[in-house]
Amino acid sequence: MGYFSDIIHGFKTLLTGMKVTGKYFFNARKEIITQQYPDNRDTLTFPERFRGRVDMPHNENNEHRCTGCQACEIACPNGSIEIIWDRVLNPETGKKKKAIEKHIYHLSMCTMCNLCIVACPTDAIVMTHEFELAAYDRSDLTFVLNKPGSKLMAGVEE
């Protein structure tokens, strides 16, 4: 008797799953969901939560918000962020202060987990909507996020 009850139970669970699938099939959205990519590059839109590559925004004076605290580097589970920094003499206070030389991002190792963005206390790095990131050479997937000659924005402190 256990054999036939297992068959009946399996059939009931199959019908339960088909009921959920059927509900979505018959109550589907009426608008077109599929994007016709490369034809629609000009009108392509992304949801706000889309995660592309990591970037460091700079203002018009070539200033960034990164203090070099290394919170993003520590939070990254696979080491795709590397911060090279040095102590520089601050002319206002006469004390040495941490300043970044290079903020290196290895896209080839990144899992787009967003943990580095969440860990950053000064919102110095963001996820872009850039998604066409294929390259023939792995070295093309390594980016220096701070621009040459850039400096810390005034008012941003560790």
78-92 pLDDT, tens digit each: 999 999 999 888 888
Q: 99 versus 65: which is more confidently predicted?
A: 65
Q: Annotate 107-121 with three-state secondary structure.
A: HHHCCCCCHHHHHCC
Write down the pLDDT at residue 93: 82
**Would you identify the CATH topology of the domain 54-150?**
Alpha-Beta Plaits (3.30.70)
Domains in the chain: boundaries: 54-150
Q: Name the band, by pLDDT with cuts 50, 70 and 90, for residue 108.
A: very high
The strand pairing partners of 96, in sequence order, are: 89
Residue matched to tokens 């991002």: 105
Q: Of 19-33, 38-52, 84-98, 126-140, where does mean pLDDT reach its minimum?
A: 19-33
Q: How many CB atoms lie within 10 A of CB 79?
A: 10
Q: Name the band, by pLDDT with cuts 50, 70 and 90, for residue 31.
A: low
